[in-house]
Amino acid sequence: MLPTIDWDDGEVVMIDQRKLPSKEVYVRCRTAKDVARAIRTMVIRGAPAIGVAAAMGVALDVRRSRATGTTQLATEFYRTCDLLAATRPTAVNLFWAIERMKRVFAGGMRVGRSTAELQALIDAEAVRLHDEDVANCRAIGRHGAGVVPAEARVLTHCNAGALATGRYGSALGVIRAAVEAGKRVAVYADETRPFLQGARLTAWELVRDGIDTTVITDGMAGSLMRAGMVDVVVVGADRIAANGDVANKIGTYTVAVLAREHGVPFYVAAPLSTIDLSTPDGSGIPIEERDAKEMTYMGASQLVPEGAAVWNPAFDVTPASFVAGIITERGICRPPFAESLKHVCDGNQ
């Protein structure tokens, strides 16, 4: 399976997700600044993937540092962390990954590690975080496959696949695991305006896997469910509040409301690094607003006339009451989420 992001010859290499599905081109990052630009411009996107990218960006700069002592290295290290933390506000995985790198660095400083030892510590932690994310996705898949009926039509929104994670995917990890378990799965992928992660990325991943995939416009999900054509919905997440409210790609809330209206179970698949117990409920989740040009233009084609206002929030919040279960690497959390999320996170944050 194609790596979303990897090390190559001391640089961080990532597939340019803006160019898929028509072109498979790679972006090479030599500095954390390059990685920050890649996250901000969505060369790489997806909550777990940007957490992995940030950790690798920190390691890049620490590796390249010419600091003559640990104090200077520390100054550079925290400046790099701040640079990466400023890229996108909603996916808590970004901040979780940076805080994890800070804990490792501070631990090394506390015991008097040398500059070279600190560099090795940070390097190793970035690799560990990446490998863990892939293992977590496979565990999410194993736990989640059980919510997929033996013959199922699964609707998903945006891209919560290998391209949004270290590899394998969260929501798409559930779909992959169900197929690997021998279930007959057909996927309906919301195209997911305006960035089209569903049409461009989810469909690209699943077609490569040979999984039956139909792309629909976001506006078609309701008619599909009303026609009884959807057995289960599985989506990813960018931040899950302590009460189980879920921030995910804009349009997810609409899908959740439609699913409730039509009696379709609505599941969220996400690693524990997406759960933010410090945010009590969805009202506290910062929602990124992106450049209007993502809506007003499709490539060079203008879609919206000058003079029309545009509102472009990249995420919305689905209340916990719409969610049948949150599939994590440690199992499926069921309502009441305030208890089940705390329990599943205990000892893990």
Ligand X SMILES: CSC[C@H]1O[C@H](OP(=O)(O)O)[C@H](O)[C@@H]1O
Residues tagged active-site: 238
Examine residue 83 and tell whether it contacts ligand X (CB under 6 A).
no
Instruction: Pick between residue 108 and residue 166 the one whose CB is nearest to ligand X.
Output: 166
Q: What is residue 273's DSSP assignment? A: G
Examine residue 45 and tell whether it contacts ligand X (CB under 6 A).
yes
Query: Please, what is the minimum distance in Å from the beta carbon of residue 34 to ligand X?
Result: 18
CB neighbour class for 68 (10 Å; exposed up to 12, middle 13-18, buried from 19): exposed
Q: What is residue 31's DSSP assignment? A: S
The answer to whether 154 and 187 are in contact (CB under 8 A) is: yes
Which residues touch 170 (CB under 8 Å, ≥6 apart)?
48, 137, 140, 160, 164, 236, 237, 269, 270, 271, 327
| Of the residues 5, 92, 158, 189, which one makes contact with ligand X according to CB under 6 A | 158
Instruction: Pick between residue 205 and residue 238 the one whose CB is nearest to ligand X.
Output: 238
Examine residue 34 and tell whether it contacts ligand X (CB under 6 A).
no
Instruction: Pick between residue 62 and residue 232 the one whose CB is nearest to ligand X.
Output: 232
Instruction: Pick between residue 45 and residue 167 the one whose CB is nearest to ligand X.
Output: 45
Instruction: Pick between residue 80 and residue 156 the one whose CB is nearest to ligand X.
Output: 156
Examine residue 249 and tell whether it contacts ligand X (CB under 6 A).
yes
Residues in the chain, total = 349
Stretch 304-323 residues interacting with ligand X (CB under 6 A):
314
Query: Please, what is the minimum distance in Å from the beta carbon of residue 250 to ligand X?
Result: 8
Binding residues for ligand X, rule CB under 6 A, total 16
Which residues touch 283 (CB under 8 Å, ≥6 apart)?
245, 317
Binding segment toward ligand X, per CB under 6 A, in 51-59, 96-104, 231-239, 305-313:
231-239
Examine residue 115 and tell whether it contacts ligand X (CB under 6 A).
no
Residue 305's CB is within 10 A of a number of other CB atoms, namely 7
Helix ranges, the chain (H): 32-40, 47-64, 70-85, 92-110, 115-144, 171-180, 197, 203-208, 221-226, 252-261, 293-296, 337-345
Stretch 169-228 residues interacting with ligand X (CB under 6 A):
170, 197
| Of the residues 20, 36, 47, 326, which one makes contact with ligand X according to CB under 6 A | 47
Examine residue 251 and tell whether it contacts ligand X (CB under 6 A).
no
Reference 100, options 73, 59, 123, 129; nearest CA is 129
Residues that bind ligand X (CB under 6 A): 45-48, 158, 160, 164-165, 170, 197, 235-236, 238, 248-249, 314
